[in-house]
C-alpha cells in the first residue's frame, strides 16, 4: 500500500464549479499535513498546511480526519488559474522527510 | 536572489560524463533535500541534509553523490548515469527546529534541473 494515495484524475471541471480532492495516508504516526500545487514543468509550491481543526484560505478549505486517515481539499468558485496538479504531502513523526502523493491533476475549463 | 535557486536549469549529458547540479537557498534554512521527479511518478526523496549532515540516503545508486559544504549550498555530483536517470531534479530547503511549528511552513523548492542522459 502506498504511504500517501491520491486519485490521479484528471479532473476536468467548468470555471466557477466547486471541486474536492481526497487523499489517504497509511502511517498513523503522520504528524503534519500539507497541500502543494505544481504547475506544468514547474516546481511544487506550498498551497496550505492542514490543521486538525480544518482551515480555510480564501476559496480553499482543507480538512483532516485522523480517525479515517484522510485529508481533503475543497476549491470553491474555481478559476482558470487553479489548473494544476495538487499534491498531498505528509510528514511522519520522527522522520526528517516529507512523503508526497502522486498528485491529482485538475483542469478548469472556460 | 531570493528563495531557492538551482543551476543549471537544463542539462544534457552522455553516460560517461561527469557533471554537478548546484542548489543554493537564501532563506536561512538549516535542512536541504534532493528529490527526483520522473514522469507520472510521485516525487522521490533522494537525500536529506540537516545542519550540513546527511541524515537520509534513500537507497540512491552511488552514481549520485551529494555534497553539502554549508547550510546554504547543496550539490549533486553525477557520473556514469543511465538513460533512466533522465528526470527533473528538485532541491528543497526547510527550517527544521525539531518541533511541528517549524514544519508548518513545509519545504520550499527550487525550479529544478531538467536532466537528459543520452
- Nearest neighbour of B42 by CB, restricted to A32, A43, A101: A101
Chain B positions in Cβ-Cβ contact with residue A42 (cut-off 8 Å): 111
- What integer is the mean pLDDT of A30-40? 91
The distance of A26 to chain B (nearest Cα, Å) reads 16
pLDDT of residue B101: 47
Q: Are B4 and B108 in contact (CB under 8 A)?
A: yes
- Nearest neighbour of A46 by CB, restricted to B31, B42, B106: B106
The Cβ of residue B24 has, within 10 Å, a number of other Cβ atoms equal to 18
Query: What is d(CA B60, CA B58) in angstroms, rounded to the nearest whole number?
Result: 5
Question: For A42-51, B49-58, B93-102, which range has the lowest pLDDT when averaged over its residues?
Answer: B93-102
Structure confidence at residue B98 as a pLDDT band (50, 70, 90): low
Q: Say how many Å lie between the first and final Cα of chain B, rounded.
A: 32
Dihedral sign for Cα B22, B95, A42, B53, please: positive
Q: Are B114 and B12 in contact (CB under 8 A)?
A: no
Mutate: best of A96, A99, A101, partner B, most B CBs <10 A? A96
Contact across the interface for B90 and A44, Cβ inside 8 Å: yes
Instruction: Please choose, from the candidates A101, A20, A13, the residue with its C-alpha nearest in 3D space to the C-alpha of residue A60.
Output: A20
Contact across the interface for A44 and B109, Cβ inside 8 Å: yes
Q: Are A23 and A14 in contact (CB under 8 A)?
A: no
Strand residue runs (E) in B18-86: 18-25, 31-37, 44-50, 53-57, 64-70, 73-79
Structure confidence at residue A87 as a pLDDT band (50, 70, 90): very high
Ramachandran angles phi, psi of A27, nearest 5° = -95, 115
pLDDT of residue B97: 58
Which chain A residue has its CA at the smallest distance from B100's CA?
A: A32
- What integer is the mean pLDDT of A45-65? 93
- Report the SS3 class of residue A40: coil
pLDDT at B26 over 70: yes
Chain A residues with CB within 8 Å of chain B CB:
4, 31-32, 34, 36, 42-46, 49, 87, 89, 91, 96-103
pLDDT at B59 over 90: no
Q: What is the mean pLDDT of chain B?
A: 88
Contact across the interface for A96 and B100, Cβ inside 8 Å: no
Burial class (CB in 10 A: 0-12, 13-18, 19+), A95: middle
pLDDT of residue B105: 64
DSSP designation for B40: T
pLDDT at A82 over 80: yes
- What lies within 8 Å, CB to CB, of B46 at 6+ separation is B33, B34, B35, B36, B57, B58, B60, B64, B66, B76
Peptide bond into B8 cis (omega under 30): yes
The distance of A91 to chain B (nearest Cα, Å) reads 8
How many residue contacts between A and B have a Cβ separation below 8 Å?
Answer: 49
Contact across the interface for A97 and B108, Cβ inside 8 Å: no
Amino acid at each position: 500500500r502506498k504511504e500517501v494515495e491520491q486519485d490521479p484524475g484528471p479532473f476536468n471541471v467548468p470555471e466557477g464549479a466547486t471541486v474536492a480532492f481526497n487523499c489517504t495516508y497509511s502511517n498513523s504516526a503522520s504528524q503534519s499535513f500539507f497541500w502543494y500545487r505544481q504547475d506544468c514543468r514547474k516546481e511544487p509550491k506550498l498551497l496550505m498546511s492542514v490543521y486538525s481543526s480544518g482551515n480555510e484560505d480564501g476559496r480553499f478549505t482543507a480538512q483532516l480526519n485522523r480517525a479515517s486517515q484522510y485529508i481533503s481539499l475543497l476549491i470553491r468558485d474555481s478559476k482558470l488559474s487553479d489548473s494544476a496538479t495538487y499534491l498531498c504531502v505528509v510528514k511522519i513523526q520522527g522522520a526528517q522527510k516529507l512523503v508526497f502523493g502522486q498528485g491529482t491533476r485538475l483542469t478548469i475549463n472556460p | 536572489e531570493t528563495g531557492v535557486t538551482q543551476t543549471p536549469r537544463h542539462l544534457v549529458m552522455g553516460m560517461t560524463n561527469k557533471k554537478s547540479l548546484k542548489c543554493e537557498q537564501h532563506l536561512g534554512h538549516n535542512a536541504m533535500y534532493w528529490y527526483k521527479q520522473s514522469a507520472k511518478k510521485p516525487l522521490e526523496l533522494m537525500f536529506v541534509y540537516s545542519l550540513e549532515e546527511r541524515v537520509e540516503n534513500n537507497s540512491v545508486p552511488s552514481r549520485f553523490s551529494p555534497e553539502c559544504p554549508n547550510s546554504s549550498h547543496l550539490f549533486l555530483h553525477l557520473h556514469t548515469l543511465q538513460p533512466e536517470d533522465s528526470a527533473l531534479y528538485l532541491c528543497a530547503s526547510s527550517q527544521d527546529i525539531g518541533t511541528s511549528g517549524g514544519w508548518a511552513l513545509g519545504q520550499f523548492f527550487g525550479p529544478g534541473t531538467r536532466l537528459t542522459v543520452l
